[in-house]
Amino acid sequence: MKAITAIGSRLLQTLFVLWAVVTILFLMFRLMPGNPMAAYIDPNFTPEQQDALMARFGLDRPLWEQYFIYLGNLLQGDLGESFFYRTPVTERILALLPNTLILTFSSLIVAYAFGILAGSYLAWKRGSRVEQVAVPVVLTTRAMPEFWLGMILLAVFSFTLGWFPAGGTRPPGAEYDGYWALYTSRDFLVHLTLPVLTLAIYSQGLPLLLMRSNMLDVMKEDFVTMARIKGLSPFTVVIRHAARNALLPVTTSFAIAVGYQIQGNVVVETVFSWPGLGRELVRAVSASDYPLAQGAFLMIAVVVILMNLIADLLYALLDPRVTRE
Amino acid sequence: MEPLLSIRDLSIAYRVGTSEMLAVENASFDVPRGAIVGLVGESGCGKTTLARSLTRILADNARIAGGQAVFDGQDIMALSERRMNALRWREIAFIPQSAMNSLDPVYTVGSQLAEVLCRRGNLSRRAARRRSEELFEWVGIEAGRLGDYPHQFSGGMRQRVAIALALALDPKLIIADEPVTALDVIVQRQILDQLRELQTRLGISVILVTHDISVVAYVCDRVVVMYAGHVAEAGPMAATLTRPAHPYTMGLRNAFPDLASAGGQLTPIEGAPPNLLHPPPGCRFAARCPFAQPACTDTVPAPVTLDDDHVVACHRWAEADTLRTRAERSETWMART
Amino acid sequence: MTNPDTPRRAGRLRRAFAGLRLPLHDPLAIAGLAIYAAFIVIAIFAPQIATHDPTEILFTDDFQLAADLRPGEDGYIMGTTTLGRDVFSQLVWGSRSALVIGLTAAFMVALIGSIVGVVAGYFGGWTDTLLMRLADVAFGIPFLPFVIVLAAFLEPSIWNVVIAMALILWRDTGRVIRSQTLTLRTRAYVEAARISGSSDVKIILRHIVPNVLPLSFLYGSIAIGWAILTEASISFLGFGDPTSISWGYMLQDAYASQALSKRSYYWFVPPGLCIILIVSAGFFISRGYEKILFPKLDR
């Protein structure tokens, strides 16, 4: 019963944050310097097109009325029309979302697999030479600008060694029968490698350091000592007991990392010309394509907020002490 | 009959900063087959360290500094790590003070039993399941609760789970470290009765570590009294507690309700144990002992065997009968300056 | 007669400064401090150290544009850019904007976060609820996209990053300082001060602030790195201040001028290394502080 109330209030909080972000976005795009209508109306449109859009977004009405029209349109998934593509923003955003999610998830899976193993290993090797060198090195990878790391990998593996393509998701001119054929093609994997590597190198530090410090805590617990007294093998003690317990907070951090990564993707997608939400946001802002910029921003924000929520729920789900009370 | 375990001159040291501290020094006593031996003393006297050393799983800064522990013919302290590990849980099992912290919170108790039965006992999954049900029946828990997580049990039930876990592989020796300390008195009795019953039925030896001398009196066959890292007195339970020969045991007896002589009041022993980083040269109890003489602060008393395996380490062992009469008066313990 | 208040005040001050003490026991933290000191010296003496004006377009002796020269060629220590500018001088001047942005942004983040945290934790009630819901919202706003949009709407300036950080990144500091304040508020001496009728402002300044200061400092030292990384990203994406030379700007210039395919490593490797050095120096120092603040962690 208590758990249900807690989840309920957490869901309400999520709705509140969503509403607040949507409102901030509305104000940002309406109250910016210059023509308030610029958010939706391309000055290059014909007068008839401009009038039609004025009516659709109520731009001739007072601000508060515009706000409710905006909320109403949002609820119907209407984010306006891109100036550049002349197509609905929602359509464009949804087409780009998979690219961003694939990049984000594959890089984080690589980063977490590596980080968890290496973090456990470093906790196991506490105080050794390896650990003394590894921790500052990991801190240094957290200090790298992601796009710079991408540039270095591009310069080395693409332009100098010629092993990988310089950007995009497919060779020029290549056509595929739908998304599935593209995503499962060898070309796609080859294009995916460098951006995933870049993001993974940058992201592994969080799970690694978290896993290491959790392991150090758990190794002091009585049940780990008991496992040793039981004569279980060191592998069983470290993996089945210590690592399994240390893993809980690391797992929830995965969801937070997704939310974090998706905003950081902006620069890496740009470096690798990866057609995702982040690069689209940058291009839209540069080209003053405000509806598209607003839509991309909103989509990224939704992922961030949802991931924060999932992180909290996951924690409750994975720890038997929290769920089974 | 040859005792199951025979500890001789065992010393265990802790590294503290740059110096070393002997938490246990030259401890010697026997654990007969099929007996419960109470290891009793104040906290910090080295009883837990000594008991834990029999599993050879010690704190990172602790080491065995000398002595032997001959278990079933082989010296535990001299075994290779591999042979020692073969002994763990199969021959020597452990019941911790707090089963809450000693059970892994993320696995069901059933899977923790199965882990020991399959990985250490080489049982099949199915056999492990049958054995788990049997063990739970022995300790009085429904088999249906095998699928529950540790936090779903009450304190007393968790302690029963810990006993079931310790019995899993039919060990010869169980070390129980304050197994009932965290429980209320009624549950304490239930658990001790259960332990006693299973121990007798299965013929296991138990070392029961406790600070509570009434627990010793309730359940033990023999008692070993430790003070500040030394064995002060050891012997059969009845003889040792009714006719203690060491002033510390006499004082300890006065401090617990069940044993204080009729009409007598509870009298705590004044003062605190010495700092083991800089131990006093003579008897470690001398500073708190109402009967201390100059010799007591100079030389460590050698253990003397009285009768019936009753061993005491006190310079005034010959006067034990007179001292005991004086020790029964509470003024003796208060009138010191 | 001794004034009973004097030793206690001295104790409080000592406690506050104990946290601000430089973490000189930790080799990594010392390395971090040394890196900072070096960059501060370079930033101060940038005009003396730089061999050229970083924005000046240079020409060779035969009046050709001095474009894409390799290090050492024609005496340019680290070569030149495609537009004929000196890489070394840009690198030296870049330390100025990095430090200015890093320090001001960190100061703003620590200041706002501390004020929010102390006010929310001390007063509680609806003030607390309001401020913490604001923090929830700040956690829901994607930071880098927010900076991009803000930078696009405002005039290009290095201060955009500072403003955006001040608007969003106070959230982490705020939450931590709030919970610290909550525990401080229940301490006996704070209770005593309240019962004896001290004003809230007085209690906050004398009892709360000295105790949360070390934490603010810790979060501030982490924020320096964030600010520098954010500025670099924003400049790289082309939303930076085109008139100021920063390491992010250098990288954007290199990327846009096809330095990657020209393999002009001398151009785009050094700015990245400088960023890594100064940001990881901040991480090392903050870890040193953590060891002082939370000695039990010991990791």
- Nearest CA of chain C to the CA of A181: how many Å? 31
The residue whose two tokens read 């609760």 is B145
Residue C299 clears pLDDT 50, i.e. is over it: no
- The answer to the question of residue A81 being in a domain is no
Are A31 and A108 found together in one domain? no
Interchain CB contact of A216 with B (< 8 Å): no
Q: Is the pLDDT of residue A325 over 50?
A: no
A176 and A35 in one domain? no
* Interface A:B, Cβ pairs < 8 A: 64
The SS3 call for residue B29 is: strand
Instruction: Measure CB to CB from residue A222 to each of B85, B101, B115 and give the nearest one.
Output: B101
Of A230, A245, A319, the CB nearest to B88: A230
Q: Are residues A177 and A57 in the same domain?
A: no
A85 belongs to a structural domain: no
pLDDT at C55 over 80: no
Q: What is the pLDDT of residue A36?
A: 47
For the stretch C169-198, pLDDT in tens is 888 888 888 888 888 887 777 778 877 777
A100 and A35 in a common domain: no
* One domain for residues A161 and A36: no
Q: Are residues C153 and A32, on separate chains, in Cβ contact within 8 Å?
A: yes
Q: Which residue of C lies nearest to A18 if distances are taken between CA atoms?
A: C140
Q: What is the mean pLDDT of residues B97-106?
A: 84
Give the DSSP per-residue string, chain C.
---THHHHHHHHHHHHHHHHS--TT-HHHHHHHHHHHHHHHHHHTHHHH-SS-TTPPPB-TTS-B--SPPTTGGG-TT-B-TTS-BHHHHHHHHHHHHHHHHHHHHHHHHHHHHHHHHHHHHH-HHHHHHHHHHHHHHHHS-HHHHHHHHHHHSPS-THHHHHHHHHHTHHHHHHHHHHHHHHHHTSHHHHHHHHTT--HHHHIIIIIHHHHHHHHHHHHHHHHHHHHHHHHHHHHTT-S-TTS--HHHHHHHHHHTTTTTTT-HHHHHHHHHHHHHHHHHHHHHHHHHHHHH-TTT--
pLDDT of C62 reads 67
Q: How far apart are CA A189 and CA A92, in angstroms?
A: 23
Above 80 in pLDDT, residue C258?
Answer: no
A319/B98 touch (CB, cutoff 8 Å), yes or no: no
Q: Are residues A71 and A98 in the same domain?
A: no
Residues A22, A122: one domain?
Answer: no
**Is some CB atom of chain A closer than 8 A to the CB atom of C132?**
no
- Burial state string for C31-43 with b = 16 or more CB within 10 A and e = fewer than 16: bbbebbeebeebb
| Contact of C153 with A33, CB cutoff 8 Å | yes
**Sign of torsion over alpha carbons B99, B102, B108, B109:** negative
Contact A139 C284 (CB under 8 A): yes
Please indicate, yes or no, whether residues A51 and A155 belong to a single structural domain of this protein.
Answer: no
Answer whether residue A325 is part of any domain: no
Q: Residue range A253-280: average pLDDT?
A: 86
Identify whether C178 is part of a domain.
Answer: yes
Contact C225 A285 (CB under 8 A): no
- Flag whether C26 is in a domain: no
Query: What is the number of alpha carbons within 13 Å of residue C153 lying toward its C-beta?
Result: 24
Q: Does A244 touch chain B (CB under 8 A)?
A: yes
Q: C233 and A145 in contact by Cβ < 8 A?
A: yes
Phi, psi of B205 (to 5 degrees): -95, 145
The two tokens of residue A37 are 């209508």
Does C141 sit within 8 Å of A213, measured CB to CB? no
Query: What mean pLDDT is predicted for residues C26-45?
Result: 82
pLDDT at A227 over 90: yes
A16-65: pLDDT as tens digits = 999 999 888 888 877 665 554 555 666 677 777 777 777 766 666 777 77
Tell me whether residue C63 is in a domain.
no
Residues of C within 8 A of A304 (CB-CB) are 140-142
In a domain, C249, yes or no: yes
Dist CA A57 CA A52 (whole Å): 9
State whether A71 and A95 are in the same domain.
no
Residue C18 lies in a domain: no
CB contact C263 to A (< 8 Å): yes
Instruction: Please check whether residue A321 touches B, CB under 8 A.
Output: yes
Whether residue A236 lies inside any domain: the answer is yes
Those residues of chain B whose CB sits closer than 8 Å to some CB in chain A are 55, 57, 85-90, 94, 96, 98, 101-106, 115-116, 119-120, 149, 151-152
Nearest-Cα distance to chain B for A181, in Å, is 41
Give the nearest partner residue to C28 out of A136, A263, A304, using CB atoms.
A136
Nearest by CB: A263 against C142, C239, C282: C142
Start-end of H helices in chain A: 2-30, 47-57, 63-75, 89-124, 129-142, 146-153, 178-183, 186-203, 205-218, 222-229, 234-235, 244-271, 277-286, 290-318, 320-323
Q: How many CA atoms lie within 13 A of A160 on its CB side?
A: 12
Best mutation site among A220, A224, A226, A240 for testing chain B: the one with the most B CBs within 10 Å?
A226
- C30 assigned to some structural domain: no
Give the nearest partner residue to B149 out of A222, A227, A324, using CB atoms. Answer: A324
Asked if the model's pLDDT at residue A246 lies above 60, the reply is yes
A62 lies in which domain range? 2-75
- The whole-angstrom separation of Cα B284 and Cα B274 is 7
Residues for chain A: how many in total?
A: 325
B84 pLDDT band, cuts 50/70/90, is very high
Of A228, A240, A321, nearest to B105 by CB-CB distance is A321
Distance from CA of A59 to the nearest CA of B (A): 57
Average pLDDT over residues B282-305: 88
- DSSP lists the bridge partners of residue B13 as B22, B63
- In chain A, the residue whose alpha carbon lies closest to the alpha carbon of B102 is A223
Hey, which residues does B68 pair with through a beta bridge? B8
- Residues B185-222 have pLDDT tens digits of 888 888 899 899 999 999 999 999 998 888 898 899 99
pLDDT at B171 over 50: yes
**Subunits close to C (at least 3 CB pairs below 8 A):** A
Residue C24 lies in a domain: no
Residue range of the domain that includes C175: 38-57+70-297
Q: Of the candidates A144, A154, A285, which has its C-beta nearest C149's C-beta?
A: A285
What percentage of chain B has pLDDT greater than the value 90? 48
Nearest 5°: the CA angle B168, B174, B175 is: 130
- The answer on A257 and A112 residing in a single domain is yes
Residue B271 has pLDDT above 50, yes or no: yes
Average pLDDT, chain B: 88
Pairwise CB contact (< 8 Å): A159 & C144: no
Whether residue A106 is found in the same domain as residue A200 = yes
pTM value > 0.80: no
For C124-178, how does the pLDDT look when each residue is reduced to its tens digit (9 = 90+)?
888 888 888 888 888 888 888 888 888 877 777 778 888 888 888 888 888 888 8
Structural domains of chain C, count: 1
B106 with A319: Cβ contact below 8 A: yes
**A169-209, pLDDT tens digit by residue?**
666 666 666 666 667 766 777 778 888 888 999 888 888 98
Same domain, A54 and A23: yes
Find the Cα–Cα–Cα–Cα dihedral B165, B168, B172, B178, rounded to 10°: 10
User: Which CATH number do you get for residue C190?
Assistant: 1.10.3720.10
In-domain check, residue A86 = no
Whether A82 is covered by a domain: the verdict is: no
Task: Determine the pLDDT at residue C1.
Answer: 38
Interface of C with A in 188-217 (CB under 8 A): none
Does residue C185 belong to any structural domain of this protein?
yes
Rounded Cα–Cα distance for residues B309 and B320 (Å): 16
Under the banding of pLDDT at 50, 70 and 90, the label for residue C210 is confident
pLDDT confidence band for B236 (50 / 70 / 90): very high
Dist. CA B314–CA C133, nearest whole Å? 70
Count up the domains in chain A and report the number: 2
Which residue in this structure is represented by tokens 């065997």? B305
Nearest Cα residue in chain A from B166: A230
pLDDT tens digits for range B111-170: 999 999 999 999 999 999 999 999 999 888 988 999 998 888 988 889 899 999 999 999
